[in-house]
Chains A and B, each alone.
Chain A
Amino acid sequence: MILKVVIVDDEPLSRSFLEKYAQKIGGLEIAGSFEDAGSALTYLQKNEIDILFLDVEMPELSGFQLLDQLMYMPKVILTTSKTDYAFDAFQYGVVDYLKKPIPYNRFQESINKIKESLSKNIESIYVKNSGTAAEEIFIKADGKLTRLNFQEILYIESLGDYVKYFTASRSYTTLSTLKAVEERISNNNFMKVHRSFIVNIQKIKDIQDNTLVIEGKVIPISKSHKSEVMSRINVV
């Protein structure tokens, strides 16, 4: 499996190291290497990739601002010379956080982690019901397969390499990505409202500004998804 990689860093020497490492480790194809987040965003809006090496502090558009505008979430590895962004990194569900200058063994560790998680995903987290339009899924959590009817699901949250399904009574954490969930839940009631959330539209209680509420949980709506959310609900 060849993974498509994009590198974004305004500092040329930092980019040169990541390019070298990516070539050395094998199994990676450098789809692009950009010195500014704006050019990278233009590319990423037209091309889907697997791994994004992303610097945080860049002029014009920061790494996090780029992520805010992405319509899908590749595996993101933050590359920064500061450790101040750890909390934001967690919020954005990044896979790893590499502090510059990056030694090769740390890079290798990070890529291996991604390869491992992707290979587990391929084992199939879900067992889709037979028949035409599936109304339920089995999710692999807590060492067993649990049947969930779509109507039970309130929302699904991305937690890096994991996703968490929330129902009214409990939540289930399973190894997967929000992108994989999106592809497998073919039900019109579900839509992505933020890079980290897919919601069951029928369960939305309130929408205010850039947030919505489901069972008391306030969920952010990203700018890029706002108009689609508004178009999917009946506003009187």
Chain B
Amino acid sequence: MTKSIFIDNSRLDTEFLNSIYEDDNEHAVVVFEQFLVNYPVLMSDIEESFIAGDTELLRQKVHKLKPTLSFVGLTVAAGKAEMIEKKCKETYEVSQLADLYNDLKMVLKEYIPAVEEEFKSLQAY
């Protein structure tokens, strides 16, 4: 078995990361970098649709964010995003999504530093 390019980080799904990148450090660096650049923009779009109360737009934006979370090992956050996406199909009331949305934001706040740490480690690999 080849040595993992990822650090042993309990906050990220390293098993999944190993399965998609294997030993391709170069690709991982590009993806992690793009994620860290694009994620604030995507979250800002999500916030805007949430404030506007547009559940369909919110669903579309969350749908776009979801796979990118998985690409950096944020499997837990991707699961939360999926829950929001499903709920958006059931309701037009954005207030009913508030708990799920806040939950996603909290998880991201907690886990994004781990992505940044992983990115630095990949760059130095």
Contacts and interface: CB of A to CB of B under 8 A. Distances in A.
A13 B31 contact: yes
A16 B20 CA distance: 12
B113 to A, nearest CB: 20
A16 B68 contact: no
Interface string B19-36: 110101001001100110
Interface residues of B, number: 21
Interface in B80-118: 82, 85
A192 to B, nearest CB: 34
Contacts, number: 47
Given A13-B34, A13-B35, A104 B19 contact: yes
A11 B68 CA distance: 8
A14 B20 contact: no
Contacts of A12: 34
A100 interface: yes
Given A12-B34, A13-B35, A16-B27, A100 B19 contact: no
A59 B20 CA distance: 27
A29 interface: no
Contacts of B19: 103-105
Contacts of B22: 104
A11 B22 CA distance: 22
A104 B71 CA distance: 12
A17 interface: yes
Nearest to B68: A13
B67 A16 contact: no
Interface of B: 16, 19-20, 22, 24, 27, 30-31, 34-35, 60, 63-64, 66-68, 70-71, 78, 82, 85
